[in-house]
Structure 1
Amino acid sequence: MVTHNDDNNNNLYIEQGGHAGNVHDFDKNLDDDGRAKRTGTMMTASAHIITAVIGSGVLSLAWAIAQLGWAIGPTVLISFSFITYMTSTMLADAYRSPDPVTGKRNYTYMEVVRANLGGRKVQLCGLAQYVNLVGVSIGYTITASISMVAVKRSNCFHKYGHHVKCSTSNTPFMIIFGCIQILLSQIPNFHELSWLSMVAAIMSFAYSSIGLALSIAKVAGGGLGRTSLTGVTVGVDVTAADKVWRCFQAIGNIAFAYAYSNVLIEIQDTLKSSPPENKIMKKASLVGVSTTSLFYILCGCFGYAAFGNKAPGNFLTGFGFYEPFWLIDFANVCIAVHLVGAYQVFTQPVFSFVETWSKKHWPENKFITRDHPIEIPLGNGIYYFNWFRLVWRTSYVIVTAILAMLFPFFNDFLGLLGALSFWPLTVFFPVEMHISQAKVPKYSTKWVALKTLSLVCLIVSLIAAAGSLQGLIGSVKKYKPFEAQE
């Protein structure tokens, strides 16, 4: 079954064996909006959240805490966790409007903003969301290739010894990752990705647990790095200016680690309508955010304890490709497999937006609108092939892979993405929609508190963006594209 809707959700059509009907022609197999009955549960939503949250961000947390130190690092982590959960509950209530339980469904973040705020804010939301989603696609391509390179280099070191350079280029692995994504991108919509998110969530737990276990083993074996309350030491590890910029960048990296608001509405749209979606989504957010926060604190703190102020950008590669090399290999393979699924979680909303927009503007163009039914062997149903989907999604994957090859800077890129998306998508729009939907009186205590929170988070995002941009510019100056890593 394939569903289509126009931008205003006024004309909903269900195509199944050539039959089409309007929103009133639904039966027990359809939801209240005429779409195929949603089957998502708290478990599948939690898996989607964990897949989206525990991504490449966890790998940089030891480095981030090394910049901030024992006093500020864990505090910033816990603060981001609390803010993310609080604003995600506000966003969950905005899925239906005007009433969060019985109101009209809004299928995307932009539609939620349109229904609750309207005006220019809709365009600003779209710009922030889709720029971030494209950026995440590039960031995940970079991270997956780094992990695959780490596997090849560790095997090389194990075979030939650590005196060998074992130079390896990221480019072939980015091409392999891109080819896999071209195939998976032909999955028609987000509702059919639950199995992929389940696999990805398991992988994220696996590599986070391995990294944590290795860090604990290193600490227990007396391999404590030099740490301090304030992190890297000025005059010893870095200059005063570098200290400031690195702290700003570290905040951006932590913000990126919690970024999933840009796909929350799409995740919520997969849930069954009973119990109410907002209640289930709040429970799933609590499970997802609390689980990932626990992993983040453990990985970040034990990673910092193990490596000290010299913690690497990707703490799994910091174990130096030493024994047990097979365990490091397995962890890096888990990262790559996880990012295969996470890439789809973040790109499906981009695919859907462009395809819906194109069908609205060129409804008579058969290349864009016509689906060709193909029977899947062994009685596994029917796949609806679409030429426009094939060309557009393939082109998107190729472009993001090329951009990743040109700018493969892990920490700088993650920090910039986190800084750019945190305030608008995680804080500003959820807070503004909550004020509007709950009719919070202007200048009341609650109104002032929410506005203050938004302002503080804006300042944090700006300084994080400045730090990451400075790091990115410095990396670009030294970088030579397509060269092998040593």
Structure 2
Amino acid sequence: MVGAGVLSLPFALSELGWGPGIAILVTSWVITLYTLWQMVEMHEMVPGKRFDRYHELGQHVFGEKLGLWIIVPQQLIVEVGGNIVYMVTGGKSLRKFHSLVCPNGNDIKLSYFIMIFASVQLVLAQLPNMNSISGISLAAAVMSLSYSTIAWVASAKKGQQPNVDFSYRSTTKVGVFFNFLSALGVIGFSYAGHNVVLEIQATIPSTPEKPSKKPMWKGVVIAYLVVAICYFPVAILGYWTFGNAVDDDVLITLQRPTWLIAAANLFVVIHVIGSYQIFAMGVFDMLETALVTKFRLPPGIALRLVARSLYVAFTMFVAIAVPFFGGLLAFFGGFAFAPTTYFIPCIMWLTLYKPKRFSLSWMANWICIVFGVLLMFLSSIGGLRSIILSAKNYQFFS
């Protein structure tokens, strides 16, 4: 649940300001916890049947064809977009780790570090299914908690910097407005567990007496408590320490103590290695199913090796071409993550359960839908503008 997006939350607060920033962070936490509960409940809403994939639930709600067209493109954008961001994150953190432990070494280009990160993914991509990466997932979870703790403890230890400035980063009204929109997407990207929650719940045994939703909901509650413990201190203390001078990755801004910040960046690398595989597993499943059913290719090790390797190479290629961490977070957070996280579960809930108009459930779902739709459109605009501005001064494949 705790993604690399946590490291950009101080940056998001610097573009939103104290009041709006904390309000949107808390609102997003509440809404996404609510929609995650809906996903867990809908997993086994039909007696004797389990919706083990997001698109299967979508097909049940919207129909066989329409459900696929609504859910699958969104889910693919989320998972592929997440993998591209994790490629950039892994490369940047490796580069930061190298610069800290070898301060007098040669300056190696970011592209090479992204390639190093991708080479690890090429090997791990050959693991067959979600259960086979449980150990990697556990390591990733421990690492996310570790580097989040280091980020806020190091910020608190450093203390508020001299001449810290809490005014908006941009000096123009247009810049302030678009930065505000971009920051919404950064926060939206931070809440991304919905896209694989049904796949995870599918690994839990279920009987009529002991349905999977009970242990799954306990896991979700624990996960969201950990999210709160990680997100809020990092966001608040990171912004309090550096003000609008904070980078889009707070660990890049932190320089001291060297050994601790180096360790934190290494923890980020280990975490995104696991996160990449969690997000990629759904893509692998769709890709291999399509190749076997549509193109009549024989399933097996050869198909897995070629298909998955090509996918890893594709995400590496895009990450090298567009290595803009903040802009990518904002764009994908709005364009892809907001629909599947903030409002599609609510639309499905209203369609299936049909709560009475103006009842508490009806109003709660419509509030989430309005908030999510606004987040999707506004943050996509801000994120795209951020990428365009970053690309102006960037030499592609330099």
Does the 8 Å contact 1:259/1:426 carry over to 2?
A: yes
Measure the CA separation in 1 of the matches of 2:372 and 2:310.
35
- 2: distance between equivalents of 1:453 and 1:152? 43
Q: Are 2:395 and 1:450 aligned?
A: no
Match of 1:436 in 2: 351
Q: Which of 277, 283, 290 is matched with 2:225 structurally?
A: 290
C-alpha deviations, 1:233-268, integer Å up to 9, x for none?
6xxx52211111111111110110111211111111
Q: Find the partner of 1:188 among 98, 104, 128.
A: 128
Find 2:342's aligned residue among 427, 430, 443. 427
Counterpart position of 1:318: 253
- Partners of 2:17 and 2:384 lie apart in 1 by 22
> 1:434, CA displacement in angstroms?
1.4
1:139 corresponds to which of 70, 79, 85: 85
| Aligned equivalent of 1:223 | 161
Cα distance change, pair 225–65 in 1 and its aligned pair in 2 (3 A): farther
Deviation (angstroms), 1:448:
4.2
TM-score by length of 2: 0.94
Match for residue 410 of structure 1?
Answer: 325
Amino acid at match of 1:317: I
1:232 and 2:172 are equivalent in the alignment: no
User: How far did residue 359 of structure 1 move?
Assistant: 2.4
Decide whether the 8 Å contact of 2:188 with 2:338 is kept in 1.
no
In the alignment, which of 116, 135, 157 is matched to residue 61 of structure 2? Answer: 116
Structure 2 counterpart SS, 1:295: helix
1:170 aligns with 2:105: no
1:65 is matched with 13
Q: Deviations over 1:122-163 (max 9, x none)?
A: 312111110111111111000000001111222343x48xxx
Query: Which structure has greater strand proportion?
Result: 1
| 2:153 is the counterpart of 1:208 | no
Q: Percent identity?
A: 30
CA deviations over 1:327-362 (Å, ceiling 9, x no partner): 111111110011111000000000011112332335
> In structure 2, how many angstroms separate the alpha carbons of the residues matched to 1:352 and 1:346?
11
User: Which whole-Å CA distance do the structure 2 matches of 1:225 and 1:66 have between them?
Assistant: 15
Shift of 1:226: 2.4
- AA partner of residue 342 (structure 2): V
**Out of 254, 258, 267, which is 1:334 matched to?**
267
Counterparts of 2:30 and 2:163 in 1: how far apart (Å)? 29
Tell me how far 1:426 sits from its aligned partner. Answer: 1.1
The match for 1:306 is 241
> Is the radius of gyration larger for structure 1 or structure 2?
1
Equivalent residue runs for 1:264-413 within 5 Å: 264-274=197-207, 275-320=210-255, 323-362=256-295, 365=297, 368-369=298-299, 371=300, 386-413=301-328
State how far apart, in whole Å, the 2-side matches of 1:255 and 1:403 are.
Answer: 21
Matching residue of 2:28: 80
Contact 1:170 1:482 in 2 (8 A): no
Q: 1:324 to 1:428 in 2, by over 3 A?
A: closer
TM-score (normalizing by structure 1): 0.78
Residue identity in the other structure for 2:265: N
- Write the distance in 2 (CA, Å) between the matches of 1:218 and 1:270: 43
Output one character per residue of 1:101-139: Cα deviation in whole Å (capped at 9) or x when no partner: x33112210011111222524312111110111111111
Q: CA deviation at 1:66?
A: 1.1
Count residues in correspondence.
395
> In 2, are the aligned partners of 1:66 and 1:227 still within 8 Å (CA)?
no
- Do the aligned partners of residues 184 and 457 (structure 1) sit closer, same or farther apart at CA in structure 2, a change above 3 Å counting? same
User: Which runs of 5 or more residues in structure 1 are unaligned?
Assistant: 1-52, 161-165, 372-385
Change (3 A) 1:297 1:445: closer
Q: Distance in 1 between matches of 2:23 and 2:162?
A: 22
Task: Check whether the contact 2:13–2:235 (CA below 8 A) recurs between aligned residues.
Answer: yes
Q: Write out per-residue CA displacement over residues 187-242 of structure 1, whole angstroms, 9 at most, x where no aligned residue.
A: 111121111111011111111111111101011xx5366254xx426xxx522111
> Which shows bigger deviation, 291-300 or 444-453?
444-453
Contact 1:94 1:433 in 2 (8 A): no
Match for 2:44: what amino acid?
R
Match of 1:198 in 2: 138
Deviation at 1:176? 1.1
Q: CA deviation at 1:443?
A: 6.0
Separation in structure 1 between the aligned mates of residue 162 and residue 135 of structure 2, nearest angstrom:
40
Distance 1:130 1:142 in 2: 18
